[in-house]
Amino acid sequence: MSEIKTVGVIGAGQMGSGIAHVVALGGYDVRLHDVSRERIEAGIAVIEKNMARQVGRGIIDDAAMKAALARIQPAEGLEAVGAADLAIEAATENEEIKKSIFRSLQPHLKDGTLLASNTSSISITRLASATDRPERFIGLHFMNPVPLMKLVEIIRGIATDVPTYETAVAFAKSLGKITSNAEDFPAFIVNRVLVPMINEAIYTLYEGVGTVDAIDTAMKLGANHPMGPLELGDFIGLDTVLSIMNVLHEGLADSKYRPCPLLVKYVEAGWLGKKTGRGFYDYRGETPVPTR
């Protein structure tokens, strides 16, 4: 197995900053990259805020937070990411964007660098084909929010070799995560089950079966879900929900995965959920208010 000491993370958004957070707390040096210095700094600020919250709750101590933050270094160029032992891509859920990132990273990679994608739905085999090392490429699907969620889905592409898989599992476990193996099928396990449920909840709203509040209340109290499906869709990001439904619909050619027209309309309107201030709930006031 490869020895991992330094981890490059491409993408300083919600998922990338969360991954950098847990990797730094795990004792690894982190090189955090995004398209601009401002985005990297914003990601590091979120990490510091979330670690401070963990300190306040007694999950970690102040010394652990300071040591972890010191391990995170901004990487404005891809050179530092390519020099890492493991590079994890955590960009938006778009296949062409992800492939473009790996192509841009390739000239900077050292021979032993392992590659991973945090994709929640896209074929690992196809992403690996855009690199010079498909045998050293794997899916590491962290759950959101990364510091709180225990699971990491491990997805092997058709060319992924055994040492890469074993290294990935050991790495995830070293972060205190529990791993689950998933085959390289559209959306893997978690999102193959979860996202169609959210899409069906949107259909339920679209067809007038219930209001936003009625649907979420019914699922929280009737199915003991901690969060209603429409609220969860807002939390994930409705653009991401739509992307995953499109991957399922195109990849499995089954009409049951057709994205709800209302989901498409919300995304077209820029109502993407919590991150934009409005989705199935309006988050711009003191408390969220249903938008339908």
Q: pLDDT tens digit string along 78-92?
A: 999 999 999 999 999
Quick one: 179 and 193 in the same domain?
no
Question: Could you tell me whether strands 178-182 and 6-10 are parallel, antiparallel, or unpaired per DSSP bridges?
Answer: unpaired
Quick one: 177 and 194 in the same domain?
no
Quick one: 116 and 223 in the same domain?
no
The answer to whether 163 touches 2, Cβ cutoff 8 Å, is: yes
Catalytic residue among 17, 117, 120, 121: 120
Quick one: 66 and 167 in the same domain?
yes
**Each residue's pLDDT tens digit, 74-128:** 999 999 999 999 999 999 999 999 999 999 999 999 999 999 999 999 999 999 9
* DSSP letter for each residue of 129-178: TTSS-GGGEEEEEE-SSTTT--EEEEEE-TT--HHHHHHHHHHHHHTT-E
- Cα–Cα distance for residue pair 213/260, rounded to 1 Å: 18
CA angle centred on 20, ends 14 and 23, rounded to 5°: 135
Quick one: 90 and 194 in the same domain?
no
Quick one: 285 and 174 in the same domain?
no
Backbone phi, psi, residue 85, to 5° = -80, -30
| 224 falls within a domain | yes
Quick one: 177 and 213 in the same domain?
no
Active site residue 153: yes
Number of domains in the chain: 2
- Tell which of 183, 208, 224 closes a domain: 183
- Tell which of 143, 159, 183 closes a domain: 183
Q: Is 233 flagged in the annotation as binding?
A: no
- Tell which of 150, 183, 216 closes a domain: 183
Q: Is 58 flagged in the annotation as binding?
A: no
Quick one: 104 and 223 in the same domain?
no
| 60 falls within a domain | yes
Residue 30 belongs to domain with CATH number: 3.40.50.720
| 35 falls within a domain | yes
> What residues make up the domain containing 120?
6-183
| 1 falls within a domain | no
Q: Is 111 flagged in the annotation as binding?
A: no
Quick one: 23 and 95 in the same domain?
yes
Catalytic residue among 17, 117, 123, 153: 153
| 197 falls within a domain | yes
Structure tokens at 272: 């993407």
Quick one: 156 and 262 in the same domain?
no
Does the pTM of the predicted model rise above 0.85? yes
Active site residue 249: no
Q: Is 104 flagged in the annotation as binding?
A: no
Catalytic residue among 17, 117, 123, 141: 141
Would you state the pLDDT for residue 1? Answer: 54
Quickly state the pLDDT bin for 183 (edges 50, 70, 90): very high
258 CB-near residues (< 8 Å, 6+ apart): 245, 249
Q: Is 173 flagged in the annotation as binding?
A: no
Quickly state the pLDDT bin for 236 (edges 50, 70, 90): very high
Active site residue 231: no
